[in-house]
Amino acid sequence: MLRFLLFFLAFIYSLSLAKAQEITGKVLSGNEVLEFANVYIKGLNVGAVTDSAGYFSIKVNEIGKFTIQASRVGYQTAQQQITLPLAKSVQLIFDLSELDGGLEEVVVSGTMQEVSKLDSPVPVEVYSGNFFKANPTPSIFESLQNVNGVRPQVNCNICNTGDIHINGLEGPYTMVLIDGMPIVSGLATVYGLTGIPQALIDRIEVVKGPASTLYGSEAVGGLINVITKNPLTAPVFSVDGFTTGWGETNLDLGIRSKWGTKVQSLTGISGFYYDNPVDNNGDGFTDLTLSKRISFFQKIQVDRPNNRVFNVAARYVYEDRWGGEMNWTKADRGGDQVYGESIYTSRWETFGVWQLPSSENLNFQFSANGHSQNSVYGSTIYIADQYIGFGQLTWNKTLLKHNFLFGAAYRFTHYDDNTPATSAGLGEVNQPSVIHLPGIFVQDELKISPSQSLLLGARLDFNSVHGSVFSPRVNYKKSWNDNSTILRLSAGNGFRVANVFTEDHAALTGAREVVFTEELRPETSWNTNLNLVKKIYTDGGTFIGIDGSVFYTYFTNRIVPDYETNPNQIIYGNLNGSAISQGISLNLDFAWANGLTMTGGATLMDVSLEEDGIRTRQLLTERFSGVWSVGYTFFKTGLKVDYTGNVYSPMRLPLLGPLDDRNDYSPWFSIQNIQLSKSFGDKWEIYGGVKNLLNFTPPANSIARAFDPFDRGVDFAADGKVIPTPSNPNALTFDPTYVFAPNQGIRGFLGLRFTIK
């Protein structure tokens, strides 16, 4: 591994050496000189920083036509075309315009309308596609490990399925959207966060806190909106592929084309292949699930009169994954001799938006998806099909200082499986679950003054099984000094109708019996959030961004899996009490004129449950988490270094009983990564580095009784509890749910990107 990294460093460095000729110039903003501005030549990856008088000097040894660019934080970037060599008497002058609104990202997740991030009354965190290139991963699930307050949670030591936690709340409380459409839900909560071609991702928006007023059920803890690139501005062709020292190979392909004169097309293909069983911890089971995955994505956008919108997209994903004992083969699938967990997933989805040909701003949004799954967990077989259709009509109307949004939505869900979830009773015909969920909502954004706005919203849904649910919310925003300081205060309600078998992988594993104590009722939550944003530009060209929040969420009817009452069961029921998620988070952004950037975040929180007067800390939830990303570009050599990482405090873990000798809390742990990258012109980029620098992995005994996966050596009492015996003194059963981090250790990676813009 070390030799691989040293060779890569030497290779990159040898490509970056060059001799030089001098190019000089000056960077201004009106009549003022700009020091600490970055000036570099595209295609050569050489540059300089302006001095106190605004001057720069760059040495090159090339002949030809190039683009030279000048930039500084808080100013509009400027470019010029040059032909080298320049005449000695020529001095380049750049005049940069100051940005009025600072970093003006456009967001849609908070209000369903395109607004500046700074103007949005709802706090929305925005992460561009370039942010995730600092630590390339084969799926969005892994990419989110460097977002503050967001943690990818691996839920099974064997098949490595997982979900996304926001502020300590499990995956089913997070709604995942693609281009604003509720695509990833139900079965896809566990299996749908893979196969989205990252080459086509423009940005990811994160809203922390309930968003049910706009998005309905499942948006209880927050939402993640994956925004794909615009077919008009995406690269003509892009390919991004990498491989790791473990043998993982990932390839993303993006193609922009034009169909006739009015149709723009964006095509994406994503593939992942890993077929190398590894057992470094010596427990007899694969440390990383083997997987073969292919995904196709197609998006088209039609030019219409008066710039009306029409676009439609479709995606298909197929995955074959398995994990288990090292000698498992396909012939053992579903048998009781060699333990394995094998999952075949086939998923299609389509979504889009059509702006009606009307003088009013009317938009019809739609989505549909089908998810078929054939899984085995040891000898337990789980076969399920789910179909979801969604349609929504919105009307946006501005009257005086009011910006109204009216909407009517309908969601249809059909779910069928081979579990008791869709059984009508012993000997009776199977009855699939069919749920109709119509709803209406209204939102009013009142512009009180140029610096103040108030957002009021309410939604009423009628669930065909559980009845009506009402969700209100209110958001207030106040800004000072041209949006350099922003205060946001929000309060709202969220709700969720749960389906355990589609959302919780632990309910499907053959290691425990699933028990329901009652008919599960919808969960509800109330949330308040105080957010403060401060932007600082120094005279030296440094940008500092501060984004802090205090949050509090109170739950009733919370559905919590009970792993502890009976070690051989998972018991589901509504909490006879309440639950809270409260804490404080802080994001910091730094950008220096010399090319150094730093982002960091920390979240301190308490997620706990109270029942019958007893308060306990929620399982698998950390009290503290931190993330960071540090990047630096060496303009003279064209090298860029990215150092990313996270750190987590101990989490309470699910034990199998009082005699279980495993630790009841995880240790502090950190996953850190480093990457070097170098561009060659505007088209080629090579990158590589090391993941999990500290080589952290969970304890080798995380899988209880890994040597006896079918519990042949376990004795049970009449009530189902395990009896301690000389061969099983700790009263354990086979159980892969004791998991808090991936089992994958240190590994190198090497990748290549090619882009035609």
Pick the more confident residue, 733 or 595: 733
Asked whether 84 and 67 are in contact (CB, 8 A), the reply is no
List beta partners, residue 334.
none
Q: Does domain 2-95 have CATH number 2.60.40.1120?
A: yes
Q: Supply the pLDDT for residue 430.
A: 76
Average pLDDT, the chain: 84
| Helix or strand holding residue 412 (H, E) | strand 402-417
Asked whether 655 and 662 are in contact (CB, 8 A), the reply is yes
Q: In the chain, what percentage of residues exceed pLDDT 70? A: 84
Gap between the Cα atoms of 433 and 413, Å rounded = 8
- Quickly count: other Cβ atoms within 10 Å of residue 204's Cβ: 23
* pLDDT tens readout for residues 569-594: 667 666 778 889 999 999 999 888 67
pLDDT value at 10 more than 60? no
Contacts of 44 (CB under 8 A, 6+ apart): 18, 60, 62, 66, 638
Contacts of 157 (CB under 8 A, 6+ apart): 285, 702, 703, 736, 737, 738, 739, 743
CATH fold for the domain made of 106-131+225-756: Maltoporin; Chain A (2.40.170)
> Is residue 470 very low, low, confident or very high in pLDDT (cuts 50, 70, 90)?
confident
Distances (CA, A) of 626 to 127, 207, 420: 17, 18, 41
- Answer positive or negative: Cα dihedral of 92, 98, 102, 108: negative
Asked whether 120 and 205 are in contact (CB, 8 A), the reply is no
> Is residue 153 very low, low, confident or very high in pLDDT (cuts 50, 70, 90)?
confident
Asked whether 350 and 368 are in contact (CB, 8 A), the reply is yes
DSSP state of 16: H
Q: What is the mean pLDDT of residues 430-451?
A: 90
> Is residue 15 very low, low, confident or very high in pLDDT (cuts 50, 70, 90)?
very low
- Give me 226's structure tokens: 């994956």
Its pTM stands at 0.85
Q: 605: closest CA among 577, 586, 633, 631?
A: 586
Q: Supply the pLDDT for residue 20.
A: 56
Q: Where are the domains of the chain?
A: 2-95, 106-131+225-756
Q: Supply the pLDDT for residue 102.
A: 37
